[in-house]
Amino acid sequence: MNRVVSIQDISCLGKCSLTVALPILSAMDIEAAVIPTAVLSTHTAIKGFTFRDLTSDILPIVEHWQKEGYAFDAIYTGYLGSKQQIDLVAKVFKLFKTKDNFFLVDPVMGDNGTFYSGFNEDFAALMGSLCKKADVITPNLTEASYMLKVPYLEEKGYSKDYIEDVLVKLSGLGVKKPVLTGIRFNRDEIGAAAYDSTTGKFVEAFNERIPQRFHGTGDIFASVLTGALVKGFSLQESLALSVDYTLESIKATINDPNARNYGVNFESAIPMLVKGSNR
Ligand code: PXL
């Protein structure tokens, strides 16, 4: 069985980070190990959240695993709460690199042209340097703009050429396969675009756009993408499964009159993921 370690926070309630990465990887028949970087009562979009920093636990956990000889098919990082955590993750990458595994960095920092609470330009520069060590990254356009120090263009205010240019610039950071999420060239479709710098090819996947915003969809996308790549799906197939499952989760949410507005009903869509990740 494949084994992935995900390094990100536990938001105890709110359907994001590890509480979505774990069930999604399990549904894809992948063992999911975790290094929790912090414990929050909820994600930071809900006011009054608690925050317990677990930075000092990261290296002892990794050193124990190393002593016991554990290895991983992928290391997948999401929300990181401090510059120190970025430095530590870079160390973890070094310790666990093999010739066959890959690192996926989801540089969670913001959306819609602004930073989430607690992030700034300095943090984005450091995140950019972590991305240098990654095989795959999954920023949205806001995060990509901050890391590249290029202006953020509003939704639909860009062309395909612009997106391809951003992807090539991201690969210039040193990333083999940058992926941009939340891309839309028209009103009706949304998806992801990627550049495989090892072949020079651009790939993309789009599906229906539901004109509402939901929290946690980036984490769902990155978790499925990690799982699909681990299972040997092509970049194109992996993007398509990630886009389709995210849409299915959103549809399940809008069809549920009692849906909570802090995350999406990805649980209801798990049968589709199980089917889609077994071939
Ligand atoms: O969904 C990304 C995410 C993960 N973890 C925490 C967050 C956010 C986004 O706001 O606050 C703690």
Residue among 265, 212, 218 nearest 243 (CA): 218
- In a 13 Å sphere around the CA of 172, the CA atoms on its Cβ side amount to 9
For residue 242, give the 3-state DSSP assignment: helix
Query: Model-level pTM greater than 0.95?
Result: yes
201 CA distance to ligand 1 middle (Å): 31
The pLDDT, as a whole number, for residue 157 is: 78
The pLDDT, as a whole number, for residue 248 is: 98
Contact 220, 245 (CB under 8 A): yes
Q: Domain spans of the chain?
A: 3-273
C-beta of 214 in contact with ligand 1 (< 6 A) = no
C-beta of 116 in contact with ligand 1 (< 6 A) = yes
110 CA distance to ligand 1 middle (Å): 9
37 CA distance to ligand 1 middle (Å): 12
Share of the chain above pLDDT 90, in %: 96
For residue 168, give the 3-state DSSP assignment: helix
d(CA 279, CA 267): 21
Contact 18, 34 (CB under 8 A): yes
Which residues lie below 8 Å from residue 207, measured CB to CB, with a gap of 6+? 189, 190, 191, 243, 244, 247
C-beta of 143 in contact with ligand 1 (< 6 A) = no
Q: Where are the beta strands (DSSP E) in 56-200?
A: 74-77, 102-105, 110-111, 114-115, 136-137, 177-183, 189-196
C-beta of 21 in contact with ligand 1 (< 6 A) = no
Please say if the pLDDT value at position 279 is more than 90. Answer: no
Residues 33-43: what's their mean pLDDT?
A: 97
Contact 137, 170 (CB under 8 A): yes
Tell me the C-alpha to C-alpha distance, in Å, between residue 13 and each of 34, 39, 59: 17, 10, 26
Whole-number average pLDDT of the chain? 96
In tens, the pLDDT along 122-132 reads: 999 999 999 99
Please say if the pLDDT value at position 156 is more than 90. Answer: no
DSSP 8-state secondary structure symbol assigned to residue 156: T
d(CA 47, CA 189): 32
> Under CATH, what is the fold of the domain 3-273?
UDP-N-acetylmuramoyl-L-alanine:D-glutamate ligase (3.40.1190)
C-beta of 107 in contact with ligand 1 (< 6 A) = no
d(CA 64, CA 61): 5
Contact 111, 85 (CB under 8 A): no
Please say if the pLDDT value at position 154 is more than 80. Answer: no
Residue nearest to atom 8 of ligand 1 (CA): 43
Residues 215-234: what's their mean pLDDT?
A: 98
190 CA distance to ligand 1 middle (Å): 21
Residues 219-236: what's their mean pLDDT?
A: 98
135 CA distance to ligand 1 middle (Å): 22
